[in-house]
């Protein structure tokens, strides 16, 4: 499933990406890896919501409930849906900062920057950091 995520994440197949995220989370939960299951389930829930896949959203919510997580019912797309950390990373990236520079500025790892950018790109429905200034200007 990890390989499928690597292939689907940058592709336009958003619904399939959402399905694989929820499948991965469900598999991890069934294997007793509750903590590891949280991230793919939350991401799958958000991706499913953006696709309008109500059945997939219900499944993700059910899996999250099984591990004791309570997802927010707010909108998970657009600039308003960015967490404060994601917003800081996106603003620095939009102003031309590299992942390394952003990591040094925020005192985090480059992997953390990559994770925040990946989540932000999905929420903003973009595929390149070159699109960030335009998206942020509209927000």
CATH number of the domain enclosing 123: 1.10.10.10
Residue 4 burial by CB count (10 A; 0-12/13-18/19+): exposed, middle or buried?
middle
In a domain, 113, yes or no: yes
Whole domain around residue 129: which residue ranges?
A: 79-138
pLDDT of residue 125: 87
20 & 59 share domain: yes
d(CA 108, CA 2): 24
Domain end point (choices 34, 66, 98): 66
| Structural domain count, the chain | 2
pLDDT of 139: 66
Are residues 53 and 83 in contact, defined by beta-carbon separation less than 8 angstroms?
no
Q: Are residues 47 and 83 in the same domain?
A: no
Q: Which of 54, 69, 56 is nearest to 17 (CA)?
A: 56
Per-residue pLDDT tens for 60-106? 999 999 999 888 664 556 777 788 899 999 999 999 999 999 999 99
Evaluated on CA atoms 68, 40, 135, 132, the torsion sign reads positive
Residue 73 counted as domain residue: no
Answer yes or no: do 21 and 53 share one domain.
Answer: yes
pTM confidence score: 0.52
DSSP state of 46: H
Mean per-residue pLDDT for 27-47? 93
Are 104 and 57 in the same domain?
A: no
């Amino acid at each position: 499933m990890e390989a499928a995520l690597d292939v689907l994440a940058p592709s336009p197949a958003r619904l399939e990406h959402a399905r694989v995220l929820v499948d991965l989370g469900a598999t991890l939960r069934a294997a007793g890896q509750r903590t590891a299951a949280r991230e793919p389930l939350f991401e799958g829930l958000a991706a499913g919501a953006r696709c309008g896949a109500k059945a997939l959203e219900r499944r993700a919510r059910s899996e999250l409930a099984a591990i004791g997580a309570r997802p927010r019912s707010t909108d998970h797309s657009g600039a308003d849906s960015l967490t404060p950390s994601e917003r800081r990373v996106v603003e620095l990236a939009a102003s031309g900062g590299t992942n390394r520079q952003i990591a040094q500025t925020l005192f985090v790892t480059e992997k953390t920057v990559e994770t925040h950018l990946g989540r932000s790109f999905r929420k903003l429905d973009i595929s390149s950091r070159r699109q960030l200034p335009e998206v942020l200007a509209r927000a």
